[in-house]
Each structure stands twice: as structure tokens, then as C-alpha cells.
């Protein structure tokens, strides 16, 4: 089956998470992704472990499927020549160098736009290519603090905490993929590529959604709520006998159903809890009552009762229970592929399903430089003797 991005060549100069997450999604849709890595060391995440499998870190394996790896020394004049020639033949380039580095390597937007006007050049930075924070290094944890996310994450009476996954990096990668698809569509109309500029900070600010709006519209400062919601009660996790269950009684009808499940008609009839606005107002007295009730049964018992009444709910899963969840398995969010050093490798599946095409994992995450020779032959027509010379001189 033909995939939407088949024959689209993506030159991936990015590393760590935001850029590789973006290019992985493009690869899932059929793009030919050439992952350019430093000879000898490669992507930083190759060493970010334990855990490791077959010499590869789990972190690296998570976001680098459907790519080919080329090791290339872009600081060497001949390495620059190879990089520029690959860019001339590419449709998309993704980089997340610090501002100014790509230009020093001769791989900046203006350099490459001259030799390939159709190139879509996606630049991901921590804070943007200009402004007072231009030269700061952007890591997810730090940017999530600066961008307001960490300040609203954590228990109500506790300190700020980071989200359990580098979600600012991930959302930036998703934003970048959407921007690249938009630029490809624009190119179909105009024949021209363009530069895409996005940063972790701007993505994080945009992702604050209603929390930012509460402040901008009503000057309401955000605060930490743990698993609770500042505008809906009850909408949080409760501890059952054997773990936690989340409950979202997001309107008054669901509240009455919850009271029925809890066998607390008195709560349903109490005028202090009759509307969501009143429940929010009386949160401090109501939530402890609900918490006491939820402690009387197991998660499985509560799930059975809540689902039967159509109340949105779910257990707080560990990774073990998540990847045994019947819905997760049914929707093919656990895939298994053959890897040259690991054997059978389990990966998360592709989340978007299409009626007319079927994105798939065609390649496992590559070993460092695994495809250097074939890329130089396929794209540049280099001979075996020339490839040997490039290797000997540590250009590749």
C-alpha cells in the first residue's frame, strides 16, 4: 500500500526527543528519513540509560523507528559537502542545533534555500532564534518550568513537580510534524519550500490552553491541584482498597449517577452539592467524604459499578498494567519488530489510524551508522572505494 509521504526525503539533523519524535511520525507515514549522527557517539540518547537492550538505550529506541542512520562529520569540509548534497536532494530538513550552529556548518536556511528552493527547513530551538533567551540551552524540564507547566503540576499543598514524561518535547515534535505537513501542502500550490521556526517555549505556552486563558481573561492565577480539576468537582483520583481510580463527574447528571453508585442519596439531595459550581465551592468538605467511600472497595469493583452507570472512570495504570490493557492491545498500541542486535523488540504502536492507508513500522531503530554506505551509494553515487576512504578519514 502506498503511504502518503512515500518518496518524500527527510534529512534529520536533530537529536534527543522533539526533533526525532517529529521525524519518526513522518517516517511512520512513509517518508525516507535519513538520520544524520556524529561519528563514534551518535544521538545523545543512545547513552541515556539504563535500561539498555542489545547495546541500545530504551530512550533512543522509543523515537527512532522508520529511519536510516548515517554518521557524518559536518565540521569537516568534505562532511559539509556531503551534508549539502543530501540537503539538495531532500524535501524536508529538521534540525535542533543551538541558534547559529547550522549556519556555521554551512547548513543554515539561507545556504540551503539557494541550492534547493523546494526544501522545507524546520528549525526547533529551546526559546527561539532571537530574543533575550536566544542563546540558552533548551531542555524539557527547564522549559516546562519557564513555560508555566511545572508551576501548575503537583499536589495542592506540595511543591512543583515535572510531568512524568518530557511532554514539552513531545508536543513540540507533534507541532513540528503538523507544520511540516502544512508546508508540504503549501509547496504543492506554490512549488516553494519555506523555513519553519518553532521552539519548546512557544509550544509550551500555547499548550496551557484554558489555564492561560483563565489568567488572560480573568486575571486568575493558576495553582497546583494534584489530580483534581479547579473548575469541576469531583474530577480526580481516589484511593480504592488496592490502588487508585479516576472519576470524572463532569456535569450534574453524572454527579447524581455517582451518588447512586456510592449509595449516598443524601449527597444527591444536599443543596450544597446540587450544582457543579456549588460542589467547587464546597470542595474541601465534599472530597474527603467521597474519598472515604472509595476506600471501601477494590478498583475492579468500582470500575464495574462506575462503568455500568456510564460514569467516566479509569484505573491509574502502571506500565505493566497499561500494556496488558485490552483496549490498548486491541488498538495495536503494542508492536513487535525484528532488530539486528536485540531480536524481537517491543515498541509503542502508531496512534493515528486511516481508512485508506496503513502506516506501519517498516524499519527498527537503526544501529549507529548502520546505513552509511547504502545512503552514500543511493543518494550520492559514491563508490565502495570512496566510502572506504571517507571512513578511514573519519568523515563518516
The catalytic residue among 12, 43, 91, 169 is: 169
**Alpha carbon distance, N-terminus to C-terminus of the chain:** 34
Kindly state the cell numbers that stand for 341.
542486535
Tell me whether the omega of the peptide bond preceding residue 50 falls within 30 degrees of 0, making it cis: yes
Closest CA to 322 of 301, 341, 349, 343: 349
107: left (phi over 0), alpha (psi -120 to 50) or beta: alpha
Closest CA to 138 of 153, 151, 123: 123
Cα-flanking dihedrals φ and ψ of residue 347, to 5°?
-135, 155
Evaluate the CA torsion angle 255, 257, 260, 261 in order and state its sign. Answer: negative
Per DSSP, 150 falls in state: G
227, 236 Cβ separation under 8 angstroms: yes
Closest CA to 396 of 9, 64, 85, 45: 85
363, 66 Cβ separation under 8 angstroms: yes
Element (H, E) at 326: helix 326-330
| Residues pairing with 237 in the sheet | 246
19, 176 Cβ separation under 8 angstroms: yes
Element (H, E) at 212: helix 209-218
Between CA 108 and CA 106 the distance in angstroms is: 6
Residue 86 CB contacts under 8 Å (≥ 6 apart), including other chains: 11, 34, 36, 375, 379, 380
Check if 169 is active-site: yes
124, 117 Cβ separation under 8 angstroms: no
98, 139 Cβ separation under 8 angstroms: no
Instruction: State the catalytic residues.
Output: 169
Amino acid at each position: 500500500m502506498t503511504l502518503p509521504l512515500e518518496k518524500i526525503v527527510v534529512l534529520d539533523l536533530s537529536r534527543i526527543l522533539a526533533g526525532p519524535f517529529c521525524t519518526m511520525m513522518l517516517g511512520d507515514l512513509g517518508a525516507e528519513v535519513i538520520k544524520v549522527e556524529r561519528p563514534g557517539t551518535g544521538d545523545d540518547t543512545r547513552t541515556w540509560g539504563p535500561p539498555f537492550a542489545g547495546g541500545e538505550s530504551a530512550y533512543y529506541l522509543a523515537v527512532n523507528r522508520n529511519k536510516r542512520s548515517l554518521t557524518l562529520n559536518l565540521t569537516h569540509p568534505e562532511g559539509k559537502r556531503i551534508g549539502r548534497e543530501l540537503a539538495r536532494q531532500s524535501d524536508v530538513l529538521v534540525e535542533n542545533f543551538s541558534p547559529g550552529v547550522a549556519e556555521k556548518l554551512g547548513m543554515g536556511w539561507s545556504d540551503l534555500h539557494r541550492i534547493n528552493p523546494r526544501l522545507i527547513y524546520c528549525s526547533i530551538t529551546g526559546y527561539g532564534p532571537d530574543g533575550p533567551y536566544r542563546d540558552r540551552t533548551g531542555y524539557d524540564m527547564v522549559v516546562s518550568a519557564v513555560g508555566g507547566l511545572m508551576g501548575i503540576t503537583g499536589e495542592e499543598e506540595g511543591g512543583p513537580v515535572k510531568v512524568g514524561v518530557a511532554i514539552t518535547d513531545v508536543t513540540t515534535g507533534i507541532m513540528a510534524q503538523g507544520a511540516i505537513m502544512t508546508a508540504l501542502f503549501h509547496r504543492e500550490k506554490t512549488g516553494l519550500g519555506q523555513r519553519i521556526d518553532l521552539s519548546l517555549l512557544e509550544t509550551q505556552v500555547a499548550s496551557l490552553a484554558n489555564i492561560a486563558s483563565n489568567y488572560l481573561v480573568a486575571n486568575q492565577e493558576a495553582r497546583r491541584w494534584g489530580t483534581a480539576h479547579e473548575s469541576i468537582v469531583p474530577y480526580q483520583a481516589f484511593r480504592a482498597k488496592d490502588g487508585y481510580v479516576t472519576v470524572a463527574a463532569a456535569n450534574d447528571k453524572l454527579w447524581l449517577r455517582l451518588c447512586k453508585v456510592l449509595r449516598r442519596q443524601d449527597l444527591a439531595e444536599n443543596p450544597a452539592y446540587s450544582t457543579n459550581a456549588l460542589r467547587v465551592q464546597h470542595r474541601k468538605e465534599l472530597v474527603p467524604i467521597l474519598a472515604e467511600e472509595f476506600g471501601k472497595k477494590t478498583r475492579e469493583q468500582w470500575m464495574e459499578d462506575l462503568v455500568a452507570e456510564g460514569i467516566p472512570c479509569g484505573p491509574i495504570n502502571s506500565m505493566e498494567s497499561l500494556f496488558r490493557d485490552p483496549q490498548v492491545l486491541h488498538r495495536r498500541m503494542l508492536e513487535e519488530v525484528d532488530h539486528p542486535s536485540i531480536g524481537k523488540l517491543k515498541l509503542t504502536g502508531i496512534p493515528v489510524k486511516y481508512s485508506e492507508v496503513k502506516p506501519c513500522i517498516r524499519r527498527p531503530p537503526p544501529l549507529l551508522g548502520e546505513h552509511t554506505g547504502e545512503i552514500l551509494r543511493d543518494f550520492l553515487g559514491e563508490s565502495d572505494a570512496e566510502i572506504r576512504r571517507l571512513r578511514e578519514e573519519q568523515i563518516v
